[in-house]
Amino acid sequence: MLYAYNTTSTTYTAGQQLSLPTTGTQTGCTAVKTTSNTISLNKPGYYMVHFNGDAATTADAGNISAILQVNGTAYPAAEATAYSSATTDIQNLGFTTIIQVQPNCMCNTSNVPVTLTVVNGTTAATFTNAAITVTKIA
């Protein structure tokens, strides 16, 4: 299991990876942070991924979002979006999904290790109290 977070208000441009520099809990080497914004899933199996964070636009009103990427590609339905009308209109964004990591063999297109990142959507936004939990469930 891995739990990482960032309690500092941090501004991100559209498409920028969120930084989760603090490791609250890490058990073993199955799910590990490789950088402040990248998590590596090192063993085959199923992983439950939870993300939660508070965010607001940096200037203009618009949709803010957090998107999970697996190996650099947006993962289907692992996204949270909300409308923020101003820098003071803070919204909570959260999602939960399950990721399957295939064994490392020639017949699979998704082999270990698999990398996870969370990126800001299409509007510049400030995130606070962003956190991710990754748990191997099978």
Does 131 score more than 70 pLDDT?
yes
CATH class of the 2-136 domain in this structure? mainly beta
- Predicted local confidence at residue 72, as pLDDT: 97
Residues 127/12, Cβ–Cβ less than 8 Å: yes
Q: Please, are residues 132 and 22 in contact by the beta-carbon 8 Å criterion?
A: no
Q: What is the pLDDT of residues 24-60, one digit of tens each?
A: 999 999 999 999 999 999 999 999 999 999 999 998 8
Phi, psi of 16 (to 5 degrees): -80, 140
Report the alpha-carbon distance of residue 132 to residue 73 in Å, rounded. Answer: 18
The answer to whether residues 1 and 106 touch, using CB atoms and an 8 Å cutoff, is no
Average pLDDT over all residues of the chain = 94
pLDDT of residue 104: 72
For the segment 16-28, the average pLDDT, to the nearest whole number, is 97
The whole-number pLDDT of residue 60 equals: 83
Higher pLDDT, 103 or 48: 48
The residue ranges of every structural domain in the chain are: 2-136
Q: Average of pLDDT values for 95-123?
A: 84
What is the DSSP code string of 30-76?
A: SEEEEETTEEEE-SSEEEEEEEEEEEEESSS-EEEEEEEEETTEEEE
